[in-house]
Amino acid sequence: MPLHNVKVSQVFQEIADLLEIEEANPFRIRAYRNAARTLSEYGQELATLVAQGLPLPKLPGIGADLGAKIVEITRTGTCPLLNRLRGEVPPTVAYLLAIPGLGPQRVRTLYHELAITSPSDLQRAAEQGLVGRLPGFGPKLEQQLLQALTKHLDLNARMARASLRPAVEGLLDYLRRVPGVRQVEVAGSYRRCRDTVGDIDILVAAAAGYDVPFSFTAYEEVDEVLAHGTTKASVRLRSGLQVDLRVVREESFGAALLYFTGSKAHNIVLRQMAQSRGLKINEYGVYRDGQHIAGESEASVYATLQLPFIAPELREARGEIDAARYGKLPILLTRQDLRGDLHVHTKASNGRNSIKEMALAAHALGLDYLAITDHSQHLHIAKGLDEDRLLTQMDEIDRLQSDGGLGVTLLKGIEVDILEDGRLDLPTSLLNQLDIVVAAVHEHFSLSPARQTTRLLHALDQRVHILAHPTGRLIGQRPPVDFDFDMVLRHARETGCALELDAQPLRLDLDDLHCREAKEAGVLISIDSDAHNSADLCNLRYGVDQARRGWLERQDVLNTRSLAELKTFLKRR
C-alpha cells in the first residue's frame, strides 16, 4: 500500500543523515533535508496522486530526480539509494541519531574515530572517557551523553504531535463515516496539545448493534491489530503509530472523554472532589447513591462539582481546578487573535519563497503584518545576509510596500546571530535602521550555564526586540541550552524585550512551563512561525496550542496587537 507523505519524508531524512555520516557533498545533503521538510509539511497526500496515475505537483526544491524517488518510495517504501547507504553504514549507527546531543557530524566522528556503531558501544566508550577526548565533544558532553543514553528509548518512543496530525485527522474522518457512529473525539495527550505524543486514544459513541471496532481494524492504514473486542480495539498504523479505540454509550461520552483525555493528576483531583460531595466519578459518568446523574458531556461532569468547563490544554493539575473554582480561569488565546508574524525567512537566505509570495500567503491567512527576518551573515550554511545584502533587501521591501497589493504591512527585520561573547552579528548602526531585530543562538550550545547566561544577558542589552527560540531545543534531537532562565526572564522584563514561542513543530520553544513563567513575570511572548516557505506560516496554530498550555491570553502575546500598538512597542527599544 502507498505511504503517507510523512513516511516518504522520513526516508529522505534518513538518506540525508547517512550521506552526512559518509561525508557526502553538503549541497546534496541539504537537497534531501529540504525535500524531507517540504513533504512533511505538504497538505495533500502524494501517494494518492501516484495511485491514481496523476503527476506530482511542482514542489519547491524537488526536481525530476527527487520526484521519481518519491513515486518509488510511495509504492515500495524504499529506494535503491537508501538501500545502498544502509548497506554501507551499519544500521545501528543511524540509531545513534535518536540520542539527544548527537547529530550526523558527531555520529560520523564516533563511527570513524572510535568505530562506535551502537548505543551500547557509545556507552562503553563514554564510561572509559574516550568520547570526551574527541574533537568537538569534551568531558561535559560525554557526561550529557551518558545521561541521555539512559533516557533515549523513552524519548524515541514519543513523537512530535504536529507530525501525527495528518494520520489522526485521516482516521477521525474515516470513523465519522462508519455506520452507527454518533460522536468521535481524540483524547489523551494529543487532545491536551502536549508537544510530544506516545500513542493516540480515540473515543466513539455509537448506536447499539454496530461493530465499530471491526470497522476500525479494517481501516486501510492499519498495519497490525494488537487487540480486538466488542467495545475496544488497539492497532498499529503503517506510520508506526499505536491507536487505541474505546466505544461508549452516548450518555457516558462526556465522562469517558474527560477520563481518557486526562491528565491522570487532573482526574485524581476531580475524583477527590467528587468523593467529598458524596459522588462517584468514573469513565461511565457521575453517580450519586448508584444513580447516574451526569456524563453525556464534559461540562455536565464539571457542573456536578460546581466547576466551569476547563479547557483540555490546562488539565495538568497545575492550579487549573482552583482557578476554575474561584472564577480565575484564563481566557485562552486563539489563532484568530494573532494579527501578524514577526519571524519569517525568504529565499534571500534559506527560505524558499520571495518576499512577495510570503506576504500574499500571510494575507491569505488573515494576518495584518509580516516581519521579514532572514538570517544574518554569520550563519553561512543559511546564506545569511551581510550589510550590503540586507540594505538591498530593505530597499526591496520599501518598493514592494509602495507598489501595494500585498494585503499586509511588511516590517524590515533580521534574525541576527548572537555570537559566543553575546555580541550581535551586525553593527548597531545597521540594526537601528530596521523596524525589528530578532536575535538567536545558533551555535556554541555547550557553553557552561554561567557563560551561556552572560551571553544572553549581553545580547538583551542591545537593540533586540525578540529573543528567538530561547532554549534552542529540537524535540527528540537536541536538548535545551543550559542557562539561568529566571535571570534572563528578569532581564527581558527590565529591557522590554519579548521572548519567542517558535511555532516550528520540532522547536515549540518556549515550552509551556516557560511560557507561564513569562506570563507571571509580565514578559510578552511573540508567537512566530519561523516560516521558511509560505506553507510554514500555518505553523502558527501549533504555537497557539503551546501558548494555551502555558495559560497565555491575548494580552500576553506581542503579535496580537494592532500594527500601531506593535510599532509603539518596537520604538521603545
Bridge partners, 572 (sequence order): none
Nearest to 114 by CA among 100, 102, 156: 102
Task: Give CA–CA dist 437/454, Å, rounded.
Answer: 20
Count of H helices and E strands in the chain? 25, 17
pLDDT in tens, 322-371: 999 999 999 999 999 999 999 999 999 989 899 999 999 999 999 999 99
Task: Give CA–CA dist 526/387, Å, rounded.
Answer: 26
449 SS3 class: helix
Q: For the chain, give every residue range classified as CATH 3.30.460.10.
A: 159-248
Question: So what's the pLDDT on residue 322?
Answer: 95
Q: Looking at 116-125, 168-177, 204-213, 508-517, which range is the least confident one?
A: 116-125
pLDDT of 539 above 60? yes
Question: So what's the pLDDT on residue 1?
Answer: 43
Element (H, E) at 341: strand 340-344
Question: So what's the pLDDT on residue 92?
Answer: 58
pLDDT in tens, 368-421: 999 999 999 998 777 899 999 999 999 999 999 999 999 999 999 999 999 999
Which CATH number does the domain 335-571 belong to among 3.40.190.80, 3.30.1380.10, 3.20.20.140, 1.25.40.10? 3.20.20.140
pLDDT in tens, 108-159: 888 888 888 777 778 888 888 899 899 889 888 888 888 777 665 444 457 8
Cell matching residue 487: 535571570
Q: Exposure of 547 by Cβ count < 10 A (0-12 exposed, 13-18 middle, 19+ buried)?
A: buried
> What mean pLDDT do residues 535-543 have?
95
Question: So what's the pLDDT on residue 152?
Answer: 53
pLDDT of 231 above 50? yes
> Considering the domain 159-248 in this protein, what is its CATH number?
3.30.460.10
Cell matching residue 551: 495559560
Question: So what's the pLDDT on residue 424?
Answer: 97
- Cβ atoms of 234 and 227 within 8 Å: the answer is yes
Average pLDDT, the chain: 91
Q: Which residue has the higher pLDDT, 158 or 180?
A: 180
Question: So what's the pLDDT on residue 155?
Answer: 44
> What mean pLDDT do residues 457-477 have?
93
Q: Which residue has the higher pLDDT, 209 or 42?
A: 209
Q: For the chain, give every residue range classified as CATH 1.10.150.110.
A: 5-154
pLDDT of 97 above 80? no
Q: Is domain 5-154 annotated with CATH 3.10.180.10?
A: no
- Cβ atoms of 285 and 302 within 8 Å: the answer is no
Compute CA 103 distance to the chain's CA centroid, rounded to the nearest angstrom. 19
> Considering the domain 253-325 in this protein, what is its CATH number?
3.30.210.10
pLDDT in tens, 291-332: 999 999 999 999 999 999 999 999 999 999 999 999 999 999
Question: So what's the pLDDT on residue 154?
Answer: 47
Question: So what's the pLDDT on residue 380?
Answer: 79
Compute CA 202 distance to the chain's CA centroid, rounded to the nearest angstrom. 22
Strand ranges of the sheet holding 291-294, from the earlier edge strand across to the other edge: 280-282, 285-288, 291-294
Q: For the chain, give every residue range classified as CATH 3.30.210.10.
A: 253-325
pTM of the model: 0.76
